[in-house]
Chain A
Amino acid sequence: MITYLEAIREAQARALRDDPRVYIYGQDVGQFGGAFKATKNLAEEFPGRVLDAPISEDAIIGSAVGAALEGMRPIVEMQFADFSTVGLNQIVNHAATMFWRTQTPCPITVRLPSGGTAGAGPFHSQSMEALYAHYPGTVVMTPATVEDAYSMLLDAVAIDDPVIFCEHKYLYYHLKAEALPSEAMPVGKARLARPGRDLSIVTYSAMVHEALAAAAELSAEGWEVEVVDLRTVKPLDTDTILASVARTGRLLAVGEAFPWGGVTAEVVARVASEGFDLLDAPPRRLNSKDTPVPYHPNLWGTHRPTARTIASEARQLLRV
């Protein structure tokens, strides 16, 4: 069995093995193996290519941009996604504008340990995909499975553009697979995680699993709910979303991130404007509450969507 976290470690090992241009830079990623152990033993296996960085996110990402211009393939680890805001300028204003301004690609991979876990509080829990997806010039990945964590991270390194790789901390240890995948879906293609006919839940990252649990619960009540795993939120696979809504006539977009704007809003906007006639009911969105992510589990459990709240939102939509 291999965990989601081990898959991320294995993908980085393979990238380092296969491509001499790859190096890893981030706080405590060297001998220590990273705060979550995503780079365990890589410093020993690949001497001089897995380097501890100072607490300087702006400079870590800025240096990755420079190295990418010189033909390297940096993988940068933020200790937590939340700290990437300190490097925001280099990501959105430098890396993401590079190709459009200069016709020179900027192949950096920024790994963001994302999402909430119990007791982590406002600064170690954030889901930042929408922030980065908002800017032109980024690819934003949100793997929900062990297989995707592995193959999409390899894709991220291979892509000639800045990739924001949002790996979910809750899935690190919870999610296990038999083996690493030998083949992968193309980047930018969503996956049908569960087929259905009554309602489409479109979601990504850890919420795929909450949605699947909700679908199982609803199936006991006679509803067949389809679950679409977006895999990358940018580019967003509008075709797969529309095809699903064409089958079911009902859309519920679910995300763990804050409610204002964001991925779920984008999904609903696209379906409303490009597939309005496919809808039998007004589309709905379910996100976190509009407050910082709370520390105490009593509050956190209510702040984010869960299988229970997804199922209840789905029931309301199915009754329309």
Chain B
Amino acid sequence: MVHPAEADTRPAHSPASPKLFLETYRWMLLARTAEEKIANLYRSGKIVGGVFLGKGQEALSASLGVHLKPGDIFAPLIRDQAGRMAFGESLLDYIRTYMGSRLGPMQGRDGNIHRGRPREGMLAMISHLGAMVPTVAGALMARRFKGIKGCVGATCIGDGGTSTGAFHEGLNLAAVERLPLVVVVANNQYAYSTPNSRQFACSDLVQRAVGYGVEGHSVDGTDLADCLSVLGHAVERARSGHGPQLVVASLLRLAGHGEHDDAHYIDPQLRKAAVGRDCLRLAEDEILKRQWAAPAEVEAWHTAAQSQVEDAVASTLREPLPDPGEETWQALSTPHLNEG
């Protein structure tokens, strides 16, 4: 479904090719497998701090990731393991950051989902929701100043995060500057325990696109084919100079807010409804139904993902942990300006 803020001159969405569907499915599978492993490690006390899963949101996140290219900018959020991997984050970055390895990109200074490689276009989220929207907008302004064309910046946010001032200010700014920004809202019906009814009063968040003067798109976040075609289209619109794109997906978080949370507050009706379907299982059913792969092949992919994850965990376990004696304790990049 398309909600144009201006006259719609776009071609109809094209369905994703089987090849892209399968590729994206495998990123989803790897993310799910890796997250299940980290959740297990958490339950056995091997992860310090929180663990936050993207279970149920892999189709949406991966569909964004596969449509971004090297040279694009991506600021993932809490539930974007699949999109991170599809964009190019290594499995080791993920495992090392959760396990606090000194060799990870955050060196134990930050952890879990708060990781990234800004020099490689993968921004490292701060916790403060909404903050990444204006930041990606600014990165895109820089690309424009530098005369770099054809790139896209994307960021993800939850239904709750749309209530922040930063989300509003960032999207408005991007619209004024007509930046190639894609903002993907995963409306998983809850922000921690808070249902949509206590978060916003419009009937559908995509309506806001009109107010910002940007193009809006709705997508079924449980349906990989729909995610691929809508995200592909939105990214293409941004890339081809049509300004910011607001994509709103409906789905459900199939895990707690974090692994400490049993999510008892989620309405059981929603779990049974269409939004509560598991995108990974649906995608797999689709693959088998359309005979894009044989059951044995799909099974082999599961096994491959499993052993990839086990290997990454095993090698990370042998790596050094952060050592306060070797830590620089310097927050500035300009060495002589550090006081400590």
Contacts and interface: CB of A to CB of B under 8 A. Distances in A.
A302 B329 CA distance: 10
Nearest to A124: B127
A157 to B, nearest CB: 24
B129 interface: yes
Contacts of A53: 198
Interface of B is mostly: loop
B329 A297 contact: no
B106 interface: yes
Contacts of B111: 119, 121, 295-296
Contact of A290 (B110, B198, B323, B329): B329
Interface string B150-178: 00000000001101111000000000000
A123 B48 contact: no
Nearest to B340: A290
Contact of B331 (A124, A291, A296, A302): A291
Interface in B319-340: 321-324, 327, 329-331, 338-340
B301 interface: no
A121 B163 CA distance: 24
Contacts of B198: 30, 52-54
B49 A120 contact: yes
B139 interface: no
A296 B329 contact: no
B199 to A, nearest CB: 5
Interface stretch (A78-86, A138-146, A267-275): A78-86
Interface SS of chain A: loop
B141 interface: no
A260 B112 CA distance: 28
B160 A302 contact: no
A104 interface: no
Contact of B324 (A27, A292, A298): A298
Interface in B250-282: 265
Contacts of B331: 290-292
A30 B194 CA distance: 9
B192 A28 contact: yes
A307 B106 CA distance: 28
A30 B127 CA distance: 22
B340 A296 contact: no
A118 B321 CA distance: 15
B15 interface: no
Interface string B121-156: 000001111100000000000000000000000000
Interface in B78-134: 100, 106, 108-112, 114, 126-130
A54 B109 contact: no
B321 A296 contact: yes
B191 interface: yes
Given A32-B192, A54-B160, A295 B100 contact: yes
Contacts of B108: 294-296, 298-299
Contacts of A259: 339-340
Given A54-B200, A58-B165, A121 B49 contact: yes
Interface in A265-319: 289-292, 294-299, 301-303
B193 A31 contact: yes
Nearest to B193: A32
A259 B331 CA distance: 13
A313 B166 CA distance: 43
Contacts of A121: 49, 110-112, 114, 127
B128 A54 contact: no
A181 interface: no
A297 B323 CA distance: 10
Contacts of B295: none
Nearest to B166: A86
A27 B192 CA distance: 9
Contacts of B50: 119
Given A28-B194, A82-B127, A295-B111, A55 B322 contact: no
Contacts of B47: 119
B327 A299 contact: yes
Given A32-B192, A82-B127, A119 B49 contact: yes
A27 B191 contact: yes
**What are the 5 A-B residue pairs with the smallest beta carbon separation, nearest first?**
A119-B49, A119-B48, A296-B108, A123-B127, A32-B193
10 contacts: A54-B198, A119-B47, A259-B339, A290-B329, A291-B109, A294-B327, A295-B111, A298-B100, A299-B109, A303-B324
Given A85-B128, A121-B110, A298-B323, 8 more contacts: A32-B194, A82-B128, A83-B127, A118-B49, A259-B340, A295-B48, A301-B324, A302-B327
